[in-house]
Chains A and B, each alone.
Chain A
Amino acid sequence: MTDTDRGTQRDRNSAFYLFSPPSNQIFLSLIFCWSCYGCCVAFYLFTQQNLPACKPVLTPEWVFMTFLFIGFIFIPVGLVTLRASHSVVEIVERYDIGCVPEPFRINKVSYIQDDSIPKNCSLSFKVPKYMKAPIYIYYQLDNYYQNHRRYVKSRSDKQLLHGQNQHGISSCQPVEVNNDRPIIPCGLIAWSLFNDTFTFIRNRAELKVNRKNIAWKSDREHKFGKNVYPFNFQNGTLIGGGKLNPRIPLSDQEDLIVWMRTSALPSFRKLYGRIEKDLDVDDVVVVHLMNNYNTYSFGGKKKLVLSTTSWLGGKNDFLGLAYVFIGSSSVTIAVVFTLLHLLSHRH
């Protein structure tokens, strides 16, 4: 292969080379940067790996400053956050056991599955601290795998938005059809809708619970159809959770919408409604509830939660503590580091 020619040929054919030799490169870049000399220089600097660069060096001063800075940011933020968290008043009442009458406590599952037994129950609690409206009501379920893959997948967004649609409900397995007719809303999630209900009474007067606007606005408007009505729902042999009023379109079934936002963890709270009146200290609130939902078969707990919120949301001490912890360890590092540096004289 006679390689002189290969050598020269290399130059001539450099168009075939992805990266041609500099002579060509310069020529090419001349064309590229005909009108702009600066660009040419920049390109040259780029190919020579000589672009102006900032080269931060972690000198002891910088280290000290950085850690101190982190500390000085984090500790105040942590304190503010802690304060916000402490301003939140939260009442948690577990009712899953208390609501099963004594005789049925040995076999709670059969109790809950027996439709003939009335499921109503009541609780009462004292408000420990002044609670400013709005007070959010949550139900909390534990050991409930709403994040199980089989469960999460078993829904059809298309059907929820567009309604009667034979297609695209295959994902709803195993709850997609009943008597050869599609179920709306299909899928395990909808089928297992939570159906305990609560009414609140303070001083004999019922506290009004606002159950509107508990779901995300975008969900209501864009993910659940305004013209889609429940159909053939909970009609099968297996009845899961709650039923839906077939005359209300899905976009207004906020319970369902909230329920369909699957939770990330097996222990979760979901918004039930809002009390838009303040509760005073030592107010006694009585809750009448329908204990319909079966958590007994898998040993899940049911809790009722009343909570106010701050700008941070609910009660969340951890965030503030974590901030304070990181901040103070950062300050500690800064101090230790400076001491070490002063003790050893490297320079």
Chain B
Amino acid sequence: MTRGRIRARLRLSHLYTFACTRPEATEEGPHSIEGPGYSRIVHCNQPLMHKKKPFKYRSNYISTTKYNLFTFLPKALYEQFHRVANLYFLSAAIVSVTPLSPFSAVSMIAPLVFVVGLSMAKEALEDWRRFMQDIKVNSRKVKFHKEEGVFDYKSWKKLQVGDVVKVEKDQFFPADLLLLSSSYEDGICYVETMNLDGETNLKVKRALEVTLPLDEDASFKNFTGKIKCEDPNPSLYTFIGNFEYDHEIYALDPSQILLRDSKLRNTAFVYGVVIFTGHDSKVMQNATKSPSKRSRIERKMDYIIYVLFSLLLVISLVSSIGFAVKTKFDMPDWWYLQPQNTDDYYDPRKPVLSGVTHLITALMLYGYLIPISLYVSIEVVKVLQATFINQDIQMYDEETGNPAQARTSNLNEELGQVDTILSDKTGTLTCNQMDFLKCSIAGTAYGMSSSEVELAAAQQMASDLEDQDVERSTDFRQKGKQQEIELETVVISEDEMVHKSPIKGFSFEDSRVMEGNWLNEPNADVIMLFFRILAICHTAVPELNEETGSYTYESESPDEAAFLVAAREFGFEFCKRTQSSVFVRERYSASGQTIEREFKLLNMLEFTSKRKRMTVIVRDEDGQILVLCKGADSIIFDRLSKNGRLYEEDTTRHLNEYGEAGLRTLALAYKRLGESEYSAWNNEFQEAKTTIGPDRDLMLENIAEMMERDLILVGATAVEDKLQKGVPQCIDKLAQAGLKIWVLTGDKVETAINIGYACSLLRQGMKQICITEISSDAKEVVKENILLQMTNASQMIKLERDPHAAFALIIDGKTLAYALEDDVKQQFLVLAVQCASVICCRVSPKQKALVTRLVKEGTGKTTLAIGDGANDVGMIKEADIGVGISGVEGMQAVMASDFSIAQFRFLERLLVVHGHWCYKRIAQMVCYFFYKNIAFGLTLFYFEAFAGFSGQSIYDDWYMLLFNVLLTSLPVISLGVFEQDVSSEVCLQFPAVYQQGPKNLFFDWYKILGWMGNGLYSSLIIFFLNIIIFYDQAFREEGQTASMPALGTTMFTCIIWALNCQIAFTMSHFTWIQHLFIWGSIATWYLFLFVYGRLSPSISGNAYQILVEALAPAPIYWLATLLVTIACNLPYLAHISYQRCFHPLDHHIIQEIKYYKKDVEDQRMWTRERSRARERTMIGFSARVDAKIRQLKGKLQRKQPSSEIHSPARSS
């Protein structure tokens, strides 16, 4: 509370020059709000009024669940039977009750119930989670006005329209509120709207003048008012309403509205009146249902199902026609069937009718071609795969405690097919944390520590040079060594830094200026000025941390905080801000004592994105008036005086270095001002400030411009927009895996380019294609110009001869708006696809989604969007796979995403390891499934032909039931869950193996048809070999001939063996689980047969004692099994042997190397294979290193001075 009191003295709005230039609300007069769309009336502080109609609005209870207790069953069932396959199974189950069915009813119904039940259980579980989340949110507490000026807590869900609530610092707003007053005297408050629009900077909201006195609990005792406003709508940036208070009507605008899910920052408390509750609130109105996504494989699977359906129809038709013909022409002669005595089904006089009814039977009989269990197995497998993703300890972030989470399990395999990654920048690639890293003061560069990029690049290069130098000539090796040494020094200095306790926002390391040593530097006075600018020229508020006694700073942008922290570390501690002054404690002054200096704040011309600079005018203790300015280097350099350019050359050089290292730079300048000069200017300025009218802003700007002139350059700062841990390495690996990475950011072009360098998405020597719009009013002209630029760029790429040349496309939001128009977008896409990296700056959330859609639909490849903020939600939902970064505050992105990871670097493992595995697993599993069901289903068909197409199956009903449920399901599930072609380490070492997914090597039509062909072959072998072996002669020494159950059981045994051996050949990774499942399945079959045969004959029927009595003692049974099993698998075995030895795929080679343990014995070969196996990349470190090596080689060959080879670093 005390802090609030201190603050209450500040009327910050007086400091602001531009931000608060909004005219007072009262000036405008109330809105005339009548008619439809403006019906909401809120009686402030009278929630009881809202208990009954017509003022009864929705409660603040929110529900994001899909179902409730009553709607669950019908809704979920409807969802389930939406699938064609399920509908087919349902109709089959219904028919199975009738005598048309070739099987018993239970064998049709049980699997269906299982499938549907499992899927519904999954739905229910997911909904339950949502429900629990809702409960949590709904039961959060907020202070509300109870009565008589007393505030008490109540849960969010009980909040009503008209309630007065008090929200404290760092709390979320429980509903959409009208701001009445805040802890600041002038009723402003800071709001963080990250959850709404993803912007991390704070926004200022301000209360109406009239409600400012309501700044105490007690003052609400008799407060009443009436708000008349628009109906609930999803527009976040508009609000129209009137506030009736004390018989006066005031107009309301969006700056008085605090939206639900945004957060109060830098303000001790606010009072507000609830306007929109629960689902009426703007954020809830904005919530869209995420589209249900299906993976590529699943979509393709549908086609295969259609193919199988057609096959099913064809063979059903064949068998029905066959049946009709047999019935008509042959059956009258089959006296043993009593043809004269039949019902319609077998009536020879009505062959058409019997044919049609037979069609139904046949559709069910051959239903084994459509694997019902495929759906179950895939569901099971995907859930288990998702568990593995969730459990992966290497994707667990220890800092935040967040594991990776597969939020939907049906996109696992899609992770293995990603072609383009669209990434957000802030919060995804960078931490949105600024680290003061280097500075250049008076032409001298300070700061030894290197940015993460430099560091990682150095390490990479060092190790790479080591690898390479075996193959290189001696003098080159020396060069390499030298470089290595240089690099090592960088590394060492970094190591030292790590030992010190890190200060957030400050990674500066230079003994020349630390600990007061700057006093001994030649330009000590300039250095002091530099630090003072850092400490004074800002808009932040200090906050005393009572535990440590040090200050922390709350600022609108993170760089400002970094500057203040830096100033504090240098000995210029900004400790207090009052209405008119800034207080700085200077530790290392000439006297050696800590002095608190007061700087009178005369004017503040603050930062806007248009001005790109900020200036304060202060009077120091000596009465000297100083103009302190910081801003973008180009802006500052334009405004220097003639004698202020002393350090320009050196500083420019440093700025270039910093920029190349991916740092954010600002230049600092100052000037001294005479008293008279100032007062003349100030009069003008004040006059302009009080002007009312449209020209006011322009006038202010012009006057400010006058002051920011003839400056003297002091130096420059370099702040590292801290990359998330491991981002450059991750991007490098992803690039090696052949993925394209696009960065879509809301940031400025310069920042984005910096980050591009930092992440190695851009590098020296890369040709940057910047598409910008010319300023022209005519839209057509602009568009034509953009089109021209794109055509030129494409032409340039086409004409490029150098195979190593790489291009980068940089485009900003406004230009993008044109480029995304229908007639241009194809050309844009073509250009973008040719470039190694694409950076889109200043894009709105909507544009992000549009770009994503363009890539997705234009290239037809799988896209992955990754982001952390609410502004990424659109693209996350639009992309084939949306990945949210969890661990930051906003969860909107995570909520919309399909996968969430704690940090960007986990993406590598998620894609290259899990994605690759899941893709191969599911692809192989689905292929095998089709194989298995074709192999089994067709034997039924063949038998049909031998049974007069009568719909008799050769197998016992129980065999058929267990076939999919027990006897072949577990091995295929173990294939889908545990298969690893190569281990995770190898996946990471050979990212190129990932390309098998995007190229879809394992689920193309050749593969699928190959497997189907294999199934056909197996079915033929199984059926006809058995038929011929057991044709009519005795099959035992005792002379018995094989009856239908004996032949059926033998055939089924062969199927079990052949299919399970087939899957064993398909797998390349056997843990005890696979062994258990495969061999266990075969053992289970015998066990089942034994137990089933032991049951009373009324249950087991013809299978009674069949194994023990009839089959097991017959050698021919075992011989047939062996023969058929081998015969079925021999072609496949020959095929894979041939492929492996003569046309090996990447993973085959790796497996073989691993098998021979060559990686241990022959390191060189291993590294060679590694470097060979990576995709040729244009971006990432490796590309950078490659480029460097090419450069060095070129240098050696030509023996030319290096300066000519250094191409200009940046064109911007």
Do residues A318 and B1028 form an inter-chain contact, with CB atoms below 8 A? yes
A309-B140 contact, Cβ under 8 Å, with A149-B947, A218-B1104, A263-B1044: no
**Which of chain A's residues has its CB closest to B887's CB?**
A7
Shortest C-beta distance, A80 to chain B (Å), equals 10
A265-B1116 contact, Cβ under 8 Å, with A58-B1137, A151-B337, A158-B1098: no
A5-B1043 contact, Cβ under 8 Å, with A17-B129, A19-B391, A148-B334: no
Do residues A188 and B337 form an inter-chain contact, with CB atoms below 8 A? yes
- Tell me which of A99-107, A243-251, A277-285, A339-347 binds B: A339-347
**Which of chain B's residues has its CB closest to A81's CB?**
B1119
**Cβ-defined partner of A55 (8 Å) among B62, B1140, B1154:** B1154
B304 is an interface residue with CB less than 8 A from chain A: no
A118 is an interface residue with CB less than 8 A from chain B: no
18 pairs across A/B with beta carbons < 8 Å?
A1-B195, A1-B261, A3-B261, A6-B133, A7-B887, A16-B129, A48-B394, A50-B984, A55-B1069, A149-B951, A150-B346, A161-B1098, A218-B1109, A261-B1043, A262-B1043, A271-B1040, A298-B333, A316-B1116
Complexed CA–CA distance, A131 and B1044 (Å): 29
Complexed CA–CA distance, A266 and B390 (Å): 57
A148-B947 contact, Cβ under 8 Å, with A16-B129, A18-B125, A222-B1097: yes
- Tell me which of A120-128, A200-208, A329-337 binds B: A329-337
Do residues A149 and B1068 form an inter-chain contact, with CB atoms below 8 A? no
Do residues A47 and B1126 form an inter-chain contact, with CB atoms below 8 A? no
Interfacial chain B residues near A329, Cβ < 8 Å:
1130
Do residues A271 and B1039 form an inter-chain contact, with CB atoms below 8 A? yes
**Which of chain A's residues has its CB closest to B1101's CB?**
A157
**Which of chain B's residues has its CB closest to A26's CB?**
B393
Select the residue from B336, B1116, B1123, B1126 with max chain A CB neighbours within 10 A.
B336
Interfacial chain B residues near A307, Cβ < 8 Å:
1033-1034, 1039
Complexed CA–CA distance, A6 and B1126 (Å): 57
Complexed CA–CA distance, A223 and B1040 (Å): 17
Interfacial chain B residues near A216, Cβ < 8 Å:
1040, 1105, 1109-1110
**Cβ-defined partner of A149 (8 Å) among B64, B950, B1105, B1140:** B950
**Cβ-defined partner of A188 (8 Å) among B140, B338, B1119:** B338
Do residues A310 and B342 form an inter-chain contact, with CB atoms below 8 A? no
Interfacial chain B residues near A55, Cβ < 8 Å:
1068-1070, 1151, 1154-1155
A74-B1126 contact, Cβ under 8 Å, with A19-B387, A60-B1141, A63-B1137: yes
Shortest C-beta distance, A21 to chain B (Å), equals 4
B978 is an interface residue with CB less than 8 A from chain A: yes
Shortest C-beta distance, B164 to chain A (Å), equals 20
Do residues A22 and B1126 form an inter-chain contact, with CB atoms below 8 A? no
Do residues A313 and B1035 form an inter-chain contact, with CB atoms below 8 A? yes
A70-B1126 contact, Cβ under 8 Å, with A16-B128, A148-B948: yes
A291 is an interface residue with CB less than 8 A from chain B: no
B821 is an interface residue with CB less than 8 A from chain A: no
Mark out the residues of chain B between 55 and 85 whose CB falls within 8 Å of any chain A CB in the assembled complex: 62, 64
Shortest C-beta distance, B941 to chain A (Å), equals 14
A322-B1123 contact, Cβ under 8 Å, with A6-B891, A240-B335, A268-B1032: yes
A57 is an interface residue with CB less than 8 A from chain B: yes
A164 is an interface residue with CB less than 8 A from chain B: no
**Cβ-defined partner of A58 (8 Å) among B1037, B1126, B1140:** B1140
Interfacial chain B residues near A91, Cβ < 8 Å:
none
Mark out the residues of chain B between 873 and 895 whose CB falls within 8 Å of any chain A CB in the assembled complex: 886-887, 889-892, 894-895
**Cβ-defined partner of A23 (8 Å) among B401, B946, B1096:** B401
Select the residue from B980, B1041, B1044, B1104 with max chain A CB neighbours within 10 A.
B1041
Complexed CA–CA distance, A158 and B1096 (Å): 11
A98 is an interface residue with CB less than 8 A from chain B: no
Complexed CA–CA distance, A23 and B1039 (Å): 67
- Give B1049-1072 as 1s and 0s: 1 = Cβ < 8 Å from A's Cβ atoms: 000000000000000000011111
Shortest C-beta distance, B926 to chain A (Å), equals 20
**Cβ-defined partner of A145 (8 Å) among B338, B950, B951, B1156:** B950
Shortest C-beta distance, B1068 to chain A (Å), equals 6
Do residues A315 and B1033 form an inter-chain contact, with CB atoms below 8 A? yes
- Give B1130-1144 as 1s and 0s: 1 = Cβ < 8 Å from A's Cβ atoms: 100110111011101
Do residues A148 and B1155 form an inter-chain contact, with CB atoms below 8 A? no
B1047 is an interface residue with CB less than 8 A from chain A: yes
Complexed CA–CA distance, A21 and B403 (Å): 6
Interfacial chain A residues near B195, Cβ < 8 Å:
1-3
A319-B125 contact, Cβ under 8 Å, with A22-B391, A56-B1068, A341-B1141: no
**Which of chain A's residues has its CB closest to B122's CB?**
A18
Do residues B335 and A310 form an inter-chain contact, with CB atoms below 8 A? no
Interfacial chain B residues near A314, Cβ < 8 Å:
1033-1035, 1039, 1041
20 additional contacts (CB under 8 A) given A6-B891, A337-B1141: A1-B137, A1-B261, A2-B195, A16-B132, A25-B391, A47-B391, A51-B1072, A57-B1155, A66-B1133, A147-B943, A149-B950, A149-B952, A191-B336, A262-B1044, A263-B1043, A267-B1031, A269-B1034, A319-B1119, A322-B1029, A337-B1134
Complexed CA–CA distance, A309 and B1038 (Å): 7
Do residues B1123 and A319 form an inter-chain contact, with CB atoms below 8 A? yes
Total A-B residue contacts, Cβ distance less than 8 Å: 323
Interfacial chain A residues near B333, Cβ < 8 Å:
297-299
A59 is an interface residue with CB less than 8 A from chain B: yes
Shortest C-beta distance, A301 to chain B (Å), equals 12
Shortest C-beta distance, A111 to chain B (Å), equals 15
Q: Is the interface of B mostly helix, strand, loop or mixed?
A: helix
Do residues A311 and B1068 form an inter-chain contact, with CB atoms below 8 A? no
Mark out the residues of chain A between 128 and 145 whose CB falls within 8 Å of any chain B CB in the assembled complex: 134, 136, 138, 140, 144-145
7 residue pairs, one from A and one from B, having the closest CB atoms: A314-B1033, A3-B891, A136-B1039, A192-B336, A314-B1034, A149-B950, A149-B952
**Cβ-defined partner of A175 (8 Å) among B62, B338, B346, B1025:** B338
**Cβ-defined partner of B140 (8 Å) among A2, A17, A265:** A2
Do residues B1137 and A144 form an inter-chain contact, with CB atoms below 8 A? no
Do residues A312 and B1115 form an inter-chain contact, with CB atoms below 8 A? yes
Complexed CA–CA distance, A80 and B165 (Å): 95
Do residues A145 and B334 form an inter-chain contact, with CB atoms below 8 A? yes
**Cβ-defined partner of B891 (8 Å) among A1, A21, A58:** A1
Shortest C-beta distance, A203 to chain B (Å), equals 24
Complexed CA–CA distance, A123 and B569 (Å): 120
A36 is an interface residue with CB less than 8 A from chain B: no
Do residues A318 and B1098 form an inter-chain contact, with CB atoms below 8 A? no
**Cβ-defined partner of B1044 (8 Å) among A147, A175, A223:** A147
Do residues B342 and A264 form an inter-chain contact, with CB atoms below 8 A? no
Shortest C-beta distance, A318 to chain B (Å), equals 5
Do residues B403 and A264 form an inter-chain contact, with CB atoms below 8 A? no
Complexed CA–CA distance, A58 and B901 (Å): 37
Do residues B886 and A7 form an inter-chain contact, with CB atoms below 8 A? yes
B98 is an interface residue with CB less than 8 A from chain A: no
Shortest C-beta distance, B989 to chain A (Å), equals 16
Interfacial chain B residues near A56, Cβ < 8 Å:
1068, 1070
Do residues B1033 and A22 form an inter-chain contact, with CB atoms below 8 A? no
Do residues B172 and A319 form an inter-chain contact, with CB atoms below 8 A? no
**Cβ-defined partner of A5 (8 Å) among B136, B260, B1151:** B136
Shortest C-beta distance, A267 to chain B (Å), equals 6
Complexed CA–CA distance, A146 and B954 (Å): 12
Complexed CA–CA distance, A75 and B102 (Å): 41
Interfacial chain A residues near B1101, Cβ < 8 Å:
157
Complexed CA–CA distance, A37 and B1154 (Å): 30
Mark out the residues of chain B between 633 and 678 whose CB falls within 8 Å of any chain A CB in the assembled complex: none
Select the residue from A9, A66, A147, A268 with max chain B CB neighbours within 10 A.
A147
A77 is an interface residue with CB less than 8 A from chain B: yes
- Give B733-751 as 1s and 0s: 1 = Cβ < 8 Å from A's Cβ atoms: 0000000000000000000
A174-B338 contact, Cβ under 8 Å, with A310-B1037, A323-B1123: yes
Interfacial chain A residues near B1034, Cβ < 8 Å:
136, 138, 269, 271, 307, 309, 313-314
Do residues B1104 and A222 form an inter-chain contact, with CB atoms below 8 A? yes
